[in-house]
Amino acid sequence: MAALLRGSRLLLLKWDKHVDLVHVSTRSMASKTPVGFIGLGNMGSPMAKNLLRNGYPVIATDVFPESCKGLLDLGAQVVDSPAEVAEKADRIITMLPSSPNVIDVYTGPNGILKKVKKGTLLIDSSTIDPSVSKEMAVAAEKMGAVFMDAPVSGGVGAASMAKLTFMVGGVEEEYNAAQELLTCMGANVVYCGQVGSGQAAKICNNMLLAIGMIGTAETMNLGIRLGLDPKLLAKILNMSSGRCWSSDTYNPVPGVMEGVPSANNYQGGFGATLMAKDLGLAQNTATNTKTPIPLGSLAHQIYRVMCSRGYANKDFSSVFQFLREEE
C-alpha cells in the first residue's frame, strides 16, 4: 500500500505518458536485481531514491558515509567501497564531482574494477572530460564490463522530480539496458554515439549556454543603459533573431521574469563555480583537439574571474549583476 502510494506520487511527478507505472513498479519490486549507486551528493541522492521508488534494490556507497543515511532509511543497502558494490551488483551508476574522483572510484585500490563481474553495466553520470570516459571504457572492457557515460542536464530539483535529461555515450547494443534505469531518474534520455559522446554533448550545450547567458546579460545591460525598458527589450529579443534560452526562459535581469534565480537574488540554480568547471572541460577538450573557441574561452575566463570576485556560489545568471556599474 505504501508502495502503491509512492508509485502514484511518482506518476504525478513525471507527468507521465499514460502508463500504469503504479502497477508496474509494485509488481516488479520482487523480481528486480539490485543496482549499485556510488556518489550520494546533492544530485546522486535524489537519483538513487528514484531508483528505489521504481522498485530497484539499491547497493550504495560514498566516501562520506553520512551521505548514505537518507538512502539507508528508504531501504538501500550501504556498503564500504566501490569494490564491494561491484561484488553485489551487475548494474552500477556513478555520480561524482570530477575526473579524479571517477578515476579513483573505477580504477583505485578499492575501485569498481577490482571486483567487477563480467558483463556488468557501468553508467557514469558525472560530468567529466570525455577522454577520461574513454579511458574508463577501455579499462572496463579489459575486465569484461561495459562502461557508458551518461551526464545529466538539470539541477537538484530535476533530479528529485526524475526530470533530468541524460546524454548517453557508449556501445549502442547496451543502450536499451541503460535506458531502463535512466528513465527512472529522468524525463529525457538521448543516445549520442560512442563512449564519451554523452560528455561531449553536455559540454557543448553548457558552453553555448554560458555564451548565451553572458551575451544576454551584456545585451540587456546595454539596452537598459540606452533607455530601453527591460521587459520590452526582452520581448523584442524573444520575437527576433536575438532570442535564446537565456533571454526567453532564464532571463538574468531582476524583474523581467518570475520563478528564475534573477527573481531571487541569484540564489539556487546553477552556480558560477559549476559553470566555470564545465567551461574548463570545454576548454580542455578544445585545446586538446586544437579547436578554436574564442567566445567559449572568454566565457570561461569571465566565470573564472567571477568566482574570484565573490560570485562563486551565485547562480550563473548573476553575470548580469557582475557587469553592472556598482551603486
The residues that bridge with 271 in the sheet, in sequence order, are 315
| Nearest of 217, 305, 323, 324 to residue 261 by alpha carbon | 217
**Closest distance to a second copy from the beta carbon of 35 (Å):** 26
- Is the CB of 249 or the CB of 265 nearer to a second copy? 249
273: Cβ–Cβ under 8 A, 6 or more apart, which residues?
Answer: 307, 312, 313
- Is the CB of 7 or the CB of 223 nearer to a second copy? 223
- Is the CB of 176 or the CB of 289 nearer to a second copy? 289
Stretch of residues binding a second copy (CB under 8 A), selected from 8-16, 64-72, 142-150, 288-296: 288-296
The residues that bridge with 152 in the sheet, in sequence order, are 166
Q: How far apart are CA 198 and CA 149, in angstroms?
A: 6
5: Cβ–Cβ under 8 A, 6 or more apart, which residues?
Answer: none
Stretch of residues binding a second copy (CB under 8 A), selected from 52-60, 79-87, 88-96, 186-194: 186-194
- Residue 81 corresponds to which amino acid? S
**Closest distance to a second copy from the beta carbon of 280 (Å):** 4
**Candidate residues 94, 149, 282, 315; the one interacting with a second copy per rule CB under 8 A:** 282
Q: How far apart are CA 83 and CA 61, in angstroms?
A: 10
**Closest distance to a second copy from the beta carbon of 163 (Å):** 13
78: Cβ–Cβ under 8 A, 6 or more apart, which residues?
Answer: 59, 60, 61, 65, 68, 71, 72
Active site positions, annotated: 202
**Closest distance to a second copy from the beta carbon of 245 (Å):** 5
The torsion angle over the Cα atoms of residues 287, 290, 294 and 297, rounded to 10 degrees, is: -10
232: Cβ–Cβ under 8 A, 6 or more apart, which residues?
Answer: none
Return the residues of window 229-268 that contact a second copy according to CB under 8 A.
Answer: 229, 232-233, 236-237, 239-247, 249-250
**Closest distance to a second copy from the beta carbon of 50 (Å):** 21
What's 193-206 look like in SS3?
ECCCHHHHHHHHHH
- Taking the CA of residue 263 as centre, how many other CA atoms within 13 Å lie in the half-sphere pointing to its CB? 9
Return the residues of window 206-235 that contact a second copy according to CB under 8 A.
Answer: 206-209, 211-212, 214-216, 218-223, 225-229, 232-233
**Candidate residues 61, 101, 160, 197; the one interacting with a second copy per rule CB under 8 A:** 197
- Is the CB of 85 or the CB of 200 nearer to a second copy? 200
Phi, psi (rounded to 5 degrees) for 229: -75, 130
**Closest distance to a second copy from the beta carbon of 302 (Å):** 6
Return the residues of window 19-58 that contact a second copy according to CB under 8 A.
Answer: none
**Candidate residues 23, 80, 310, 313; the one interacting with a second copy per rule CB under 8 A:** 310
- Is the CB of 112 or the CB of 161 nearer to a second copy? 161
The verdict on 326 binding a second copy (CB under 8 A) reads yes
Q: How far apart are CA 193 and CA 112, in angstroms?
A: 24
Q: What sign for the dihedral angle of Cα 155, 161, 166, 171?
A: positive
Return the residues of window 131-170 that contact a second copy according to CB under 8 A.
Answer: 153, 165, 167
Q: How far apart are CA 325 and CA 310, in angstroms?
A: 16
- Is the CB of 110 or the CB of 188 nearer to a second copy? 188
